[in-house]
Structure 1
Amino acid sequence: MACGTFDFTVSRSTGTHHFRVLRQAGIIRQYYVGTSKMNTLRDDFDAAFPGLLAAVVAAADAEAARTA
């Protein structure tokens, strides 16, 4: 996904900071397609961080259910 397509509830500068931290931690990879900066999880994400993605998705689902 392109950086600008995420629906953040934080300021643009805070979102930029989060992307930088994720990139520096090796969790995401960023690359350009034309003028858009695209984001993807690293190829070996599940092997490098077993169970993390499932835990994040479960927490997001629980939060969405709680606030609905």
Structure 2
Amino acid sequence: MVSHLVRGNQLLRSGKLEEAVDAFRKAIALHPHFHWSYYKLGQALEKLGHMEEARVAYQKATDLNPSLDKF
């Protein structure tokens, strides 16, 4: 079984952005303290032009893993 995060990454790479957002949100629901799901959600939202939602997702990723702020 493919995890929601892996599936979201596949969908993001394929340009299926709405589906990727859904997969990343499912990953977050299952593992709300894993920063990478929030980061990837931010990427998908940014590509959709949902800049404020993307900013919130990126901020949550950084809150969970401050080292992300160094990139």
Query: Same fold, TM exceeding 0.5?
Result: no
- Pair member with larger Rg: 1
Higher percent of residues as strand: 1
Q: Identify, as 1 or 2, the structure richer in helix.
A: 2
Bin for the TM-score computed over the shorter chain:
0.3 to 0.5
